[in-house]
């Protein structure tokens, strides 16, 4: 019975988000060869070929490599200067292409103007190219103009804005989005100009007037999971956006790109607004973010994420 329990513990340690290193050490380290052989015969991770040879299933080997690396990757990202971290995240997103354009939007729209400018400088140093040219070269079609404008942005960060301009630009956005016909709003230069150059207080007023005109919040009128929708969410309700990233990342059937959002959000927001994100997460989901991570994540990776999450409370004291 004890052996069966140990086999179950090892199967669980190898499965899911992260790896339970403690179980692997305490159980595997004391197993005799026959116990290890029994595990191979009974485990879902192994197959027996035509020569009766027990071998790892290749896809499980690749997945385990990723799970073992999660803790290391989180620690490496955490120790980087924030500008280098954002530059490297953008580089990875550029390489991933269409699957990760939301990461480019996220960084461009949720960082301060100085931090975004710093990431652009770091990108020069790291890769001998600019973010703008890599985004332009690697982004096909309709999204290119918007993404280039967002990563090039240096927004005014003061509180002042012009109410009349905000009302006028709300009408411009409403026309471009609701009366677009076959034209994609991302192909509208005025839409791109407003979203990539206006200050966040100004855009808050624009989005308020948009709702008065349209009867809906602007993101409700946009195509799901489009770069334009991510842009509006990151600019208007970043905490809600980050919660969606976290929920998607902790979905058991999430793909690898989506799962990486958990590390990215915890690492990049730990010293910024993690407390607010956690509070909003609890309001929206009825469960503490720490509790959700406890349920979904394993091992040293889990402990490191929970430590980062706790920093939010410490920084507010």
For residue 170, being part of any structural domain is answered with no
For residue 176, being part of any structural domain is answered with no
Give 264's contacts (C-beta < 8 A, 6+ positions apart): 77, 89, 103, 245
For residue 92, being part of any structural domain is answered with no
Predicted pLDDT of residue 1: 38
Instruction: Give the burial string for 45-71 (b: 16+ CB within 10 Å, else e).
Output: beeeeeeeeeeeeeebeeeeeebbebb
Last residue of a domain, one of 22, 41, 56: 56
Number of domains in the chain: 2
Instruction: Note down the domain range covering 271.
Output: 239-316
CATH of the domain at 246: 1.10.220.10
The CA distance from 150 to 209, in Å, is: 22
Predicted pLDDT of residue 11: 74
Tell me which long-range contacts 26-32 makes (C-beta under 8 A, separation of at least 24): 31/6
Determine contact, residues 24/39, Cβ cutoff 8 Å. Answer: no
Determine contact, residues 202/220, Cβ cutoff 8 Å. Answer: no
Instruction: Supply the Cα-derived Rg of the chain in whole angstroms.
Output: 23
Predicted pLDDT of residue 312: 67
For residue 31, being part of any structural domain is answered with yes
For residue 194, being part of any structural domain is answered with no
* Average pLDDT of adjacent 10-residue blocks, the chain of 317 residues: 66 84 83 77 79 82 93 97 98 91 98 98 98 95 95 96 97 92 90 98 98 95 92 97 97 95 98 96 97 97 97 64
């Amino acid at each position: 019975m004890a052996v069966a329990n140990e086999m179950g513990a090892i199967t669980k340690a190898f499965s899911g988000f992260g790896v339970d290193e403690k179980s692997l050490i305490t159980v595997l380290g004391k197993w005799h060869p026959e116990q290890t052989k029994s595990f191979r015969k009974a485990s879902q991770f192994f197959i027996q070929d035509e020569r009766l040879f027990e071998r790892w299933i290749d896809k499980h080997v690749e997945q385990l490599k990723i799970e073992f690396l999660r803790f290391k990757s989180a620690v490496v990202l955490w120790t980087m200067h924030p500008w280098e971290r954002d530059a490297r995240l953008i580089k990875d997103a550029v390489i991933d292409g269409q699957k990760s354009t939301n990461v480019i939007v996220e960084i461009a729209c949720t960082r301060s103007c100085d931090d975004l400018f710093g990431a652009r400088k770091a990108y020069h140093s790291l890769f001998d190219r600019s973010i703008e040219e890599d985004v332009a070269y690697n982004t096909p079609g309709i999204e290119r103009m918007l993404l280039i404008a967002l990563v090039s942005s240096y927004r005014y960060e003061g509180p002042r804005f012009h109410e009349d301009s905000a009302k006028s630009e709300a009408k411009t956005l409403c026309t471009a989005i609701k009366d677009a016909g076959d034209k994609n709003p991302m192909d509208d230069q005025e839409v791109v100009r407003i979203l990539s150059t206006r200050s966040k207080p100004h855009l808050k007023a624009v989005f308020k007037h948009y709702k008065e005109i349209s009867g809906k919040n602007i993101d409700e009128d946009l195509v799901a999971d489009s770069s334009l929708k991510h842009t509006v969410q990151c600019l208007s309700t970043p905490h809600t956006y980050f919660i969606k990233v976290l929920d998607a990342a902790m979905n058991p059937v999430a793909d690898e790109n989506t799962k990486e959002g958990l590390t990215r959000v915890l690492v990049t927001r730990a010293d910024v607004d993690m407390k607010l994100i956690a509070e909003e997460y609890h309001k929206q989901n009825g469960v503490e973010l720490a509790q959700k991570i406890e349920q979904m994540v394993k091992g040293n990776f889990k402990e490191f994420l929970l430590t980062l999450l706790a920093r939010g409370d410490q920084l507010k004291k």
